[in-house]
Amino acid sequence: QKAKPEDTEVWTPVPKVVAPVTLPGAPPADAIILFNGDNLDNWVSTRDTAQKAQWILAGDAFMVKKGTGNIQTKQAFTDYQLHIEWRIPQNITGNGQGRGNSGVFLGGWGKGDDGYEIQVLDSYNNKTYVNGQAGSIYKQKAPLVNSNLAPGEWNVYDIIWTGPRFNADGTLKSPARITAFLNGVLIQNNTEVQGTTVYIGKPSYKAHGPLPIKLQDHGD
């Protein structure tokens, strides 16, 4: 039989109509708004997930309250596109890993730093190990370039997270993947994640389902 053009046309399912972003930083119509500029209602403390996040509202942003611990979303996710804007204080002091250190755990659990961290740090003019600078998958993969803005300016992360998949027996089926832009510049290109972030030693996987997004109180 002779092949026809119609043989390779796909008509369903039809992609959902989503109003596009018309202003920089504005959410698309189908976005889940995790922070609306007014309150932390969608966030809880990782020390007690029945407790509201104790971080500080400041204008239409919020700020780490040192010593109150990490915070996480109430909701859990598997795969997503994340838009998050972060700023290092203009009067930042310290150096290396102690200069505005925070982090976005693209999936995280527990009270501490268990999860998959993309680093937040002042890396505008601050030397540290490159797989620990802003935009790194912490201790795994340095960013492709350094597109940080100076302290006091808003940095923008646009991150595409594909969570890991596990077989029924708990073994890894497929690793997590991260594509990320910092201020519109590609910094991670479909990077394969080697496992959960560890400070000392080698990363590895253990099976889990959907996870909250967690933000780090590193004491900075």
Who's near 57: CB < 8 A, 6+ residues apart?
Answer: 38, 39, 40, 63
* Nearest-approach distance from CB 4 to Mg ion, in angstroms: 56
Query: CB count, 10 Å around CB of 92?
Result: 17
* Nearest-approach distance from CB 28 to Mg ion, in angstroms: 28
Pick the closest to residue 78 from 213, 187, 199, 211 (CA basis).
Answer: 211
* Nearest-approach distance from CB 9 to Mg ion, in angstroms: 48
Full DSSP string of 82-111: EEEEEE--TT----GGGSS-EEEEEEEETT
Work out whether 69 is an interface residue with Mg ion (CB under 5 A): no
The residues facing 177 across adjacent strands are: 162, 192
Residue numbers 74-103 binding Mg ion by CB under 5 A: 101, 103
Residue numbers 200-219 binding Mg ion by CB under 5 A: 216
Work out whether 135 is an interface residue with Mg ion (CB under 5 A): no
Residue closer to Mg ion (CB basis): 111 or 165: 111
Number of residues that bind Mg ion (CB under 5 A): 3
Work out whether 107 is an interface residue with Mg ion (CB under 5 A): no
Element (H, E) at 192: strand 185-192
* Nearest-approach distance from CB 191 to Mg ion, in angstroms: 17
* Binding interface with Mg ion (CB under 5 A): 101, 103, 216
